[in-house]
Amino acid sequence: MKSIIKNIITATAFFGLLTSCSSDDNSGGNVDGTFGEAELYFDNGVNGDALVLGSSYANSNGETLTINRFNYIISNIVLIKADGSEFVYPKEKSYFIVSEESNINTLHLENIPSGDYTKVKFGIGVDNQRYLEGETAQQEFWNYASQHHLTWTWSTGYRFINFEGTFTSSNNSEPKNFQIHQGSNTATDNYREVTLDLPTTARVRQDEKPSIHIITDANKIADGVNKIVLFDNLNPAGTNASIMGGENLIKIAENTLQMFVVDHVHNGSGNHHD
Amino acid sequence: MKMKKIKFLILSCFVFLFFSCNNDDYQEIPTDYPFDLVIPSNFPDVLQDIDNNYPTENGVALGRKLFYDARLSRDNTISCAFCHEQQNAFTHHGHDFSHGIDNLIGTRNTPAVQNMIFQSEYFYDGASNSIQMLSIVPIHNPVEMDENLSNIIAKLKQDSQYVRMFKGAFENEEITSANLLNALAQFMTVMISADSKYDKYARNETGGNLTSQELQGLALFQIHCASCHSTDIFTDNSFRNNGLPINPNLNDLGRETVTGFPEDRYKFKVPSLRNVELTAPYMHDGRFGSLESVLNFYSNGVQNTQNLDPLMQQHGTLGIPLTQEEKEAIISFLKTLTDEKFINNPLFYHQT
């Protein structure tokens, strides 16, 4: 314990030194004019437990969900320093997919100005502006997203989140399918951005690659500030709850604002999560 | 645009340098130029961002070739032009529902492809709002083309003519899904119909003298129809329930399919009336075979279904009261929207 505290004090002092002697002479805000890398690691969970596809999780709506798919789009990443200055990751490179079934959890960022970052901001899904710029601007992202079940084809939008499985409740002991496909349509813009505080400063240096470890709580989608009871959304045949439009998507967009938390940051060199 | 021009200059120098000592591959790629896109003076604003995919001569030629190419479908049998025939203002004449792959039949009537950049949303339910992305819908629809972009790209890469044409049309010279969609978008961008008798009338050009019946029809149209079929592309780009009896076999929810909002149930996009004489059958499900039947519906057939448009309920009775003489006048006016030049324009022909 003592050594941890000692380390923290040393590290803090070190940061203090670095920032104080570099703040005046760097117009670009770099520590030393160099660039480094960083990664965002998305650790999918369900209300405090790890998310394991095929496993069942009870929620506070009285329903038990067996999750078979959880893929989503993360975009428009911004790293923010303590003084509020922002590094906006180049938009044309700033569209990523996290896929539990394909084991894609890490987003690699490069050419980041060296510095100490205290917040990360990102979008959930694809913003309308980028969408309307068409496939060239999207850098073939549509193709990539389509391989990960994150596009609609009967309309031309992206699924921001694809959350699928089966559920049971006091109303149905036999499992019924559910599909939650979060996204925008031509009537509703459901793209949202979140800004997360980092519990530890992320140090980007030429030879140091911080890894920002984010826990994604899939439970929040239907069981957040807004409650979405799957049974109430069954189709007329009573076989399937399909949530792909309307008020539900607006509620889910609000729920997803609380879906991400930065658990910790690894500083130093090397890969932390690969 | 500038970048492209510079690229052509560089390319031209390159061709010149290598011409004497190299093979003639370069020779076969025609120099590209921006397409001379003319926005008709009587038209409303362009509603698509055309600057990020501005049409070029080579891009349009490539888009045209793709439009007529059945390799865009799973079994190489259905092209865009299969359902969008030029002679009928790019609709599927004689079919209420569109035929697609394996002779499967859809649930909607083929919409016209014309004046696309003046529209904010596409398809009867507004499934797309981007001219660059809309082709994804028919390509993937299991009863239309049932194909995906990756497969199409793989097929086109086998064809040396496409290799050459993509090279000539795009900066990165590659056959990609982005370039495929953009070439189709460029072709659709230039599909402008603006040379009907009515247009000449609206622009005070020769050949624009309307008969007294046509003028009477225009006046009636402005009173009874133009609040929805507004501007000189004859749509306000909105979605409305015009009171069609619901076909119980289809129960097509219309706009609600896309938005998920119950207040959008049974609403469909107000279609443009350009070339309407040629685009029968009418309505989203192609239920009416003639303009007479359409006007008979508006005067006598409107039903008070969920979300019926208020404009259909403002005369103390449902629909739009019209006498026989008024209907005939409106139809004679609608026929002045026929654009022979558009349906016969060689720019849109299939060229081999």
Chain A residues in contact with B182 by the CB 8 A cut-off are 134-136
Q: What's the whole-model pTM score?
A: 0.81
B231-262: per-residue pLDDT in tens?
Answer: 999 999 999 999 999 988 888 999 999 999 99
* Number of CB pairs, chain A paired with chain B, less than 8 A apart: 98
B134 touches chain A (CB under 8 A): yes
- Residue A20 domain flag: no
pLDDT for B255:
95
Number of domains, chain A: 1
Q: Given this chain, do its domains B2-192 and B197-340 carry the same CATH topology?
A: yes
B14 touches chain A (CB under 8 A): no
Reported confidence tier of residue B71, pLDDT bands at 50, 70, 90:
very high
B72-106: per-residue pLDDT in tens?
Answer: 999 999 999 999 999 998 998 777 777 778 878 88
A30-59 burial: b if 16+ Cβ within 10 Å, else e = bbeeebbbbbbbbebbbeeeebeeeeebeb
A236 touches chain B (CB under 8 A): no
A274 touches chain B (CB under 8 A): no
Chain B residues in contact with A146 by the CB 8 A cut-off are 148-149
B141 touches chain A (CB under 8 A): yes
Distance CA A130, CA A126 (A): 7
CATH (residue range B2-192): 1.10.760.10
pLDDT for B93:
78
- Residue A153 domain flag: yes
ipTM of the complex: 0.70
Which architecture characterizes domain B197-340 according to CATH?
Orthogonal Bundle (1.10)
Task: Flag if B133 and A156 touch (Cβ within 8 Å).
Answer: yes
Do you know the residue count of chain A? Answer: 274
Long-range contacts of A8-16 (CB under 8 A, 24+ apart): A15/A116, A15/A201, A15/A203
A131-168: per-residue pLDDT in tens?
Answer: 777 666 565 788 889 899 999 877 778 999 999 999 99
Mutant choice from B47, B122, B125, B133 vs A, greatest count of A C-beta within 10 A: B133
Q: At what angle do helices B177-189 and B160-169 cross, to 10 degrees?
A: 70
A248 touches chain B (CB under 8 A): yes
- Residue A2 domain flag: no
Distance CA B52, CA A218 (A): 37
Q: Which sequence spans correspond to the domains of chain B?
A: 2-192, 197-340
Compare all CA atoms of chain A with the CA of B153 and give the residue at the minimum distance. Answer: A143
Distance CA A181, CA A69 (A): 11
Give the structural domain span for A105. 29-266
Task: Flag if A135 and B148 touch (Cβ within 8 Å).
Answer: no
pLDDT for A2:
40
Task: Flag if B137 and A155 touch (Cβ within 8 Å).
Answer: yes
Distance CA A187, CA B257 (A): 11
Q: Which pairing describes strands B239-240 and A106-113: parallel, antiparallel, or unpaired? A: unpaired
> pLDDT over 90 for what percent of chain A?
71
A4 touches chain B (CB under 8 A): no
Cβ within 8 Å of residue B250, ≥6 positions away: B107, B285
> Which of B9-18, B175-184, B301-310 comes out lowest in average pLDDT?
B9-18
Task: Flag if B259 and A146 touch (Cβ within 8 Å).
Answer: no
Compare all CA atoms of chain A with the CA of B262 and give the residue at the minimum distance. Answer: A246
Residue, of B4 and A154, whose pLDDT is higher: A154
